[in-house]
Homo-oligomer: A and B are copies of this chain.
Amino acid sequence: MIKIAILGFGTVGSGVLEVLEKNAAGVARRAGEEVRVKYILDIRDFSDHPRAELFVNNIDPILEDPEVSTVVETIGGTKPAYYYVKSALEAGKNVCTSNKELVATHGAELLALAVKKKVCFLFEASVGGGTPLITPLHQCLAANVIDSVCGIVNGTTNFMLTRMEQDGMSFDEALKVAQGLGYAETIDPSADVDGIDACRKISILASMIFGSEVHPENVPTRGIREITIDDIYFTKKMKLAVKLIAYAHRCEKGGFACGVEPMVLPAEQMMAGVSDVYNAVLVKGDMLGDVMFYGKGAGKLPTASAVVADVVDAAKLGSSIHDSLFWRASAPLKGKITDEGSYTYYVRVNNQDLGTLKEDLGGVVLSLQNKNQTAVLTLPMTEKELRKKKEKLEKDGIQVATALRMLEV
Contact = CB atoms under 8 A, between A and B. Distances in A.
Given A26-B143, A136-B136, A139-B309, A289 B294 contact: no
A370 interface: no
A32 B322 CA distance: 10
A30 B139 CA distance: 8
Given A142-B309, A270-B294, A291-B295, A286 B23 contact: yes
A324 interface: yes
A139 B130 contact: no
Interface in A254-297: 268, 270, 273-274, 285-296
Interface stretch (A218-226, A299-307, A377-385): A299-307
Interface residues of A, number: 56
Interface string A133-146: 00110111111110
A191 interface: no
Contacts of A268: 273
Interface string A176-200: 0000000000000000000000000
A312 interface: yes
A308 interface: yes
B19 A143 contact: yes
Interface in A330-385: none
Contacts of A251: none
A69 to B, nearest CB: 16
Contacts of A312: 139, 142-143, 324
Nearest to A32: B323
B309 A143 contact: yes
A211 to B, nearest CB: 9
B273 A289 contact: no
A44 interface: no
B288 A291 contact: no
B270 A140 contact: no
A404 B30 CA distance: 38
B313 A287 contact: no
A208 to B, nearest CB: 12
Given A270-B294, A288-B295, A291-B293, A142 B320 contact: no
Nearest to A325: B30
A132 B140 contact: yes
B291 A130 contact: yes
A143 B23 contact: yes
Contact of A145 (B23, B302, B317): B23
B143 A308 contact: yes
Interface in A23-45: 23, 26-27, 29-32
Contacts of A289: 130, 295-296, 299, 301-302
Contacts of A296: 289-291
Given A32-B320, A270-B270, A320-B32, A144 B23 contact: yes
30 contacts: A19-B143, A20-B143, A22-B286, A22-B287, A23-B287, A26-B142, A26-B143, A26-B144, A27-B143, A31-B142, A130-B285, A130-B287, A132-B136, A132-B140, A139-B309, A143-B305, A143-B312, A268-B273, A273-B273, A285-B305, A287-B304, A287-B305, A288-B302, A289-B299, A289-B301, A289-B302, A292-B295, A293-B293, A312-B324, A317-B317
Interface of A: 19-20, 22-23, 26-27, 29-32, 124, 130-132, 135-136, 138-145, 268, 270, 273-274, 285-296, 299, 301-302, 304-306, 308-309, 312-313, 316-317, 320-321, 323-324
